[in-house]
A and B are shown apart, each in its own frame.
Chain A
Amino acid sequence: MRHYFNSFTVTGIGALLIAAFVGRYLTNIPFAPLRAGLGPAFFPTVVAVLIGTLGVLSVGVGVAQARKQPHKTDVQPLRWRSALLIAAVVLYSLGMQYVGLLVSTAVFLFVAMIALGVRLRHAALATAAASAAIYVVFDVMFRIRLF
């Protein structure tokens, strides 16, 4: 079976989806309150057309590549460590408003180091040292409240 799942087809489909979304969104924005139809929707429309065109070209290149090399793809699956780190990052950004920046930073550091394969004791030590340094630099020196 041909491997149509390559970086160009993925890029192209993504670009077409973005262009379609922008096109749909811009129907709510006036195109021409200014002279020569140069209202607020003008420039985003030009850019959306450009993105759509590049999307079509990218899909075309991707399909041509798949025909030349039917069993090869250049898109590597997401590693579990990266997925875990992304999850930690998202949880950090959601949790920081409830527990404060310093606590959430310490928890993030510990979880991220464990996710990357650092030993428990080393992770705890590095988290404590880094959190203390961050507190001193940002809270004490730059007076950015981290709680």
Chain B
Amino acid sequence: MMIGLSEILELGLPLVLDPSVLLLAVVGTLTGLFVGAMPGLSSVMAMAILIPLTYRMSPQQAFGLLLPAYAAGTFGGAISAILLNIPGTGAAIMTTYDGYPMAQRGQAGYAIGLSCVYSFVGGIASAVFLAAFAPIVAHWAIRLGTREYFAVAVFGLAVISYLSSSLIKGLLGGALGLLLATVGMDVFTGVSRFTFGRAELAGGLEFVPVMIGVFGLGEILHTVDAGTREGAQLPQKIGRMLPELKHVLRCIPTAIRAIVVGMFIGIIPASGPTIGAVASYGLEKRIGKRRDQMGTGVPEGIVASETANNAGTGAAIVPMITLGIPGDAVTAVLLGALMLHNLRPGPALFTQRMDVVASIFILFFLGNILFLVFGLLGAKFFVRVLKTPQRILLPIVAALCFIGAYAARRSVFDVHVLVLFGVFGFLIRKIGITPAPLILGFILGPIVESNLRRGLITTGGSVSAFFARPVSALLLTLTLVLLFSPLLIRLAQRLHSALQRQPGKGASD
């Protein structure tokens, strides 16, 4: 189960060094950079569209395409954040605060170069963390039973719902995802549920068209509805790309803090790199050497955000590969890719398909090196890409969504499912429900249902038994605290203001 560096290299390197895998890694990197840089196109959309192409590939080829796209897409978001003040991906949102002012001062190239170098630093740190920590978690996960798996999945859903703009809407998205996961034959009894007589639904809703529909077509319709952007107004001068060594060295303490924060938050199921970047920027603003200048265009702001979001990428893969619980929307898509290749994430993957695990570690490492090279060499090209009008680009991406959904199984029914979920994904966005909890609920649905029912059957229907084991008790208690925290905070605030209003009591209390 425990896997060392020599074993990773021995098992994974021969598979990764295949020319087709290396070529796909370059294609994945360029796709990630392109999509990450383009506002309106997200990394998760790119991954969802790329997955059907991997249907006939080996797992190494598939992950050779997907993992570099993930790593490069996370960095790519910084390009438009710096040049346009619009984050290309959610994870680059904090990069706008210091990146855009730097670009306005004529330091766009320096800002992009710095974000590329420190995204690489964060990415490599997270690749090392993934390779070192995932086997330990997998080893520990063998001991987990049905109640623990249920608790981990419910905790993941609670975290992602909590992070939504509204807790009620986030939970509703998660619950709808759980409901969608019940479509098809019940594995315990063989009874069909919600199939409406369609043979295509007997095995449940196909993951690929649902994913492409919600994250691809739904996002496109949402962007069109919000108003498309014409060719962007870019800074006149991009300037020197490669940052000077003294500037790189100056930011090392910031980067170390960002790595720790990014990894710590990234590994929490369902929190992902975006939250890590926000937390890291917040920490830098509180304790950093140039905390007073944050937001005015200082390199530390870019480094805090970009190092943390890439440090979170590898960490987010850890719960996905070891427990089957995705760390964010992108790792949810990666989980789908594993399942598409008949690979079941969890401790068994580390014993039965160590070759796949080792190649995933190496490919993630490689992906980070590739985006450093192509990011620094090709950033000026990606700057030009930003001039592509969305009016032309979005219909082309929509067409790729259709063909992607069809390509996986060559099924017209899958295209209909894609359209249905595309429109559904658009409508839920319109009323403020973010699609990430929905997809996470859809993916975690089978884990939640089977472990809940199995747990209840073995304990004679006792709900309290779920609190009898330490890990499940801790996670379920945390879930309850998280869900009721808005209520508790409001109660505490009312109590505080009531105490302040009492005569003879005041701020001194």
Which A residues are closer than 8 A to B by beta carbons? 7-8, 10-11, 14-15, 18, 22, 25, 29-30, 33-44, 47-48, 50-51, 54-55, 57-58, 61, 74-76, 78-79, 81-82, 85-86, 89-90, 92-93, 96-97, 101, 105, 108-109, 112-113, 116-118, 122, 126, 130, 134, 138, 142, 144-146
Shortest Cβ gap from B319 to chain A (Å) = 23
Determine whether the beta carbon of A30 is less than 8 Å from that of B191: yes
* Contact partners of A89 in chain B: CB under 8 A: 217, 221, 398, 419, 422-423
> Within 8 Å CB of B236, what residues of A?
none
Contact B431 A47 (CB under 8 A): no
Interface residues of B in 409-440 (CB under 8 A from A): 410, 412, 415-416, 418-419, 422-423, 426, 430-433
Task: State whether the Cβ of B460 lies closer than 8 Å to any Cβ in chain A.
Answer: yes
Ordered by A's residue number, 7 sampled pairs between the chains whose C-beta atoms are within 8 Å are: A15-B172, A35-B461, A51-B179, A92-B402, A142-B53, A142-B56, A146-B403
- Are B194 and A18 neighbours in the complex by a CB distance under 8 Å? no
In the assembled complex, the Cα of A47 lies from the Cα of B410 at a distance in Å of 32
Contact of A48 among B172, B179, B395, B422 (CB under 8 A): B179
Instruction: Give the residue name and chain of the A residue nearest to B183 (CB).
Output: A44
The reply on B449 being an interface residue by CB < 8 A is yes
A14 and B431 CA atoms in complex are apart in Å by 10
Q: Is the CB of A76 within 8 A of B391?
A: no
B228 interface hit (Cβ, 8 Å): yes
Q: Give the residue of B189, B412, B426 whose beta carbon is less than 8 angstroms from that of A39.
A: B189
Residues of chain B lying within 8 A (CB to CB) of residue A30: 189, 191
B168 in the interface (beta carbon within 8 A):
yes
B458's nearest neighbour on chain A, judged by CB, is: A35
For window 389-406 of chain B, which residues contact chain A by CB distance below 8 Å?
A: 389, 391-392, 394-396, 398-400, 402-403, 406
Q: How far is the CB of A131 from chain B (nearest CB, A)?
A: 8
Give CA–CA (A90, B169) in the complex, Å: 27
- Chain B residues whose C-beta falls within 8 Å of the C-beta of A145 in the assembled complex: 410
- Verify B194–A25 contact, CB threshold 8 A: yes
Docked-complex contact A54 and B172, CB < 8 angstroms: yes
> Which one of B53, B224, B419 lies within 8 Å of A90 (CB-CB)?
B419
Given contact pairs A51-B176, A118-B392, A36 touches B398 in the complex (Cβ within 8 A): no
- CB <8 Å contact, B178 and A47: yes
Name 9 extra pairs, CB < 8 A, besides A39-B186, A47-B182: A34-B453, A38-B457, A40-B188, A74-B432, A79-B224, A86-B426, A89-B221, A93-B416, A112-B398
Listed from nearest, the 9 A-B pairs whose CB atoms lie closest are: A36-B461, A112-B395, A40-B186, A82-B225, A116-B391, A40-B191, A93-B419, A43-B449, A7-B431
On whether the beta carbons of B189 and A40 are closer than 8 Å, the reply is yes
Of the residues A44, A81, A144, contact of B403 by C-beta under 8 Å: A144
For B431, what are the chain A residues with a Cβ–Cβ distance below 8 Å?
Answer: 7, 10-11, 14, 75
Q: Give the shortest distance, in Å, between A27 (CB) and chain B (any CB).
A: 13
B172 touches A29 (CB 8 A): no
A141 — nearest CB in chain B belongs to which residue? Answer: B53
Given the complex of chains A and B, what is the CA–CA distance between A75 and B194 in angstroms? 30
A117 to chain B: closest residue by CB: B391
Q: Contacts of A58 on B, CB cut-off 8 Å?
A: 168-169, 172
The listed residue (A10, A82, A130, A146) touching B224 by CB distance below 8 A is A82
What is the 8 Å Cβ interface bit string for chain B, positions 140-160, against chain A (1 contact, 0 not)? Answer: 000000000000000000000
The interface residues of chain B lying within 8 Å CB-to-CB of A109 are 395-396, 399
Chain B residues contacting A38 (CB-CB under 8 Å) are: 188, 453, 456-457, 461
Tell me the bound Cα distance from A69 to B389 in angstroms.
38
Q: Which residue of B lies closest to A118 (CB)?
A: B391
Interface string of B185-209 (1 = CB under 8 A from A): 0101101011000000000000000
**CB < 8 Å A-B pair total:** 173
Q: Shortest distance in angstroms between B158's beta carbon and chain A's nearest beta carbon?
A: 12
Q: A54: which B residues are within 8 A, CB to CB?
A: 168, 171-172, 175
In the complex, the chain A residue whose C-beta lies closest to that of B191 is A40
A13 to chain B, nearest CB (A): 10
- Taken together as a complex, chains A and B put the C-alpha atoms of A75 and B193 apart, in Å, by 33
B450: min CB distance to chain A, Å: 9
Given contacts A44-B179, A48-B179, contact A86 B423 (CB under 8 A): yes
B407 interface hit (Cβ, 8 Å): yes
Interface string of B206-224 (1 = CB under 8 A from A): 0000000000010011001
Contact B456 A29 (CB under 8 A): no
A105 touches B410 (CB 8 A): no
Contact of A144 with B410 in the complex, beta carbons under 8 Å: yes
With a cutoff of 8 Å between Cβ atoms, the chain A residues found around residue B391 in the complex are 113, 116-118
Interface string of B377-399 (1 = CB under 8 A from A): 00000000000010110111011
A24 to chain B, nearest CB (A): 12
Give the nearest-CB partner of A25 in chain B.
B194
The yes or no answer to B103 lying at the interface (CB within 8 A) is no
Tell me if B452 counts as interface (CB < 8 A to partner A). yes
One of B53, B176, B227 near A18 (C-beta < 8 A): B176
Are B412 and A43 in contact (CB-based, < 8 A)?
no
Shortest Cβ gap from A108 to chain B (Å): 6
Within the complex, what minimum Cβ distance (angstroms) separates B209 from chain A?
11
Q: Which of A11, A41, A75, A76 contacts B433 (CB 8 A)?
A: A11
Tell me if B407 and A96 are in contact (CB < 8 A): no
Q: Are A29 and B191 closer than 8 Å at their CB atoms?
A: yes
A29 to B182, CA, bound (A): 13
Shortest Cβ gap from A90 to chain B (Å): 6
The distance from the CB of B494 to the nearest CB of chain A, in whole angstroms, is: 16
Closest to A85 in B: B224
- The smallest beta-carbon distance between A9 and chain B, in angstroms, is 10
Residues of B within 8 A of A117 (CB): 391
Q: Is the CB of B179 within 8 A of A22?
A: yes
B193 engages A29 (CB within 8 Å):
yes
